[in-house]
Structure 1
Amino acid sequence: PWTVGGTTHPADALIVISLCSFLAGGRRFETLFQPGERRSLQSFFWNDGKLIISYLINLVPRFEMFTPGHQEWTRRVLDTLPAEGTVHVWSFDAAVHEANGEVLVCAQDPITPPQLLLFDLNAAPSLSASAILKRSPENFDASGLVVTRHEAVSIDHELIPYTQVGPANGNGDAPIHLSAYGGFGVSLLP
């Protein structure tokens, strides 16, 4: 935690202040992201004057875009980006001053091969005009399979999220292949 200006900000919070205010001695930061139970910040970057943040809620990827204003920041949830599996977003342009709102998205899940997409964040809010730049070939026929989310209860009553891949109409009576980790700081994303 960090206490400044009479406010304590938790670890992993994303806080902002204008440079002019900070240089003038101001210490009233605005919180753009607040960590919490099963909610963790993954990354953030600037693109075309907007701050893009990536975070997980119960292992589900979420993305938001913040635009600074004179008095406050405008928030836009990027809900048309892929929201299942492992999703990474980064600026298309390496130099911040060259960024024009285009971002690259790499997405995959246990039954969908990795794909590289191009999104324009300045397009209509629907962002339906994404372009698939590259997609890995399918290694197996995934038709009829679904990925579902569940929670196991540990001996100390902690809920442990996990994903399951199986037939869409499965009844739970099937052999399984289990892969897990023992909590040694090696987290796995679905």
Structure 2
Amino acid sequence: VDFDIGISLGFKPYGIAYRIKKASGYRIYKVDDDRNFSYLVQNLMKGLASDVRNLWYCPINILDENDGYVSTLRSFKEIGKDYVEFYGPVKEGEMFKFSFGDKYEILDEDRKTAQKVKKNVKYPDFLINYSCLARQYVLEDLNHVENEIYTEVLNAPLFGFFTYGEIGPDKFFKALKFYNQTSLLCAIREKK
């Protein structure tokens, strides 16, 4: 079997970098100089409805140049009194920035990802797309377009799943990573 995997993000980091000072599992408690991260996020949400899905437009972008892809996104799950919980693991010592992506930037990244995969698997027999539910929320009324782009560029049938976390390879195909807010595209062709 010939195959290739592409990972589409579409979110860009902005602003200052924060260092995680206290975390456990999927929760961040403190950042930088022992500042309460929940308090920072609550201030970020001032004037917005208290629906955590509003934060899916600005997932945190974990900066890690030693772990394959330069960044891994984490989607917000819950804002507690003294913690913020995500749909993926976070570690003390990691650095992150808030990121932002709109539906057009995400779809543009999908097209680039499909074109890159096409270079390695020109005529796939089928495609699989694992796409984050939070990503679909941000795509709003264009959430069907991601799949249309993949089938158009790669000219193959597609099936897939919506998830709260995608497991895929690191940049070097040496280890698996847990992603959030991504689309993981796999093109497969039977060897002749």
Classify the TM-score, shorter chain: under 0.3
Higher relative contact order (CA 8 A, sep 6+): 2
TM-score normalised by the chain length of structure 1: 0.28
Relative to its length, the structure with more helix (as a share) is 2
TM-score normalised by the chain length of structure 2: 0.28
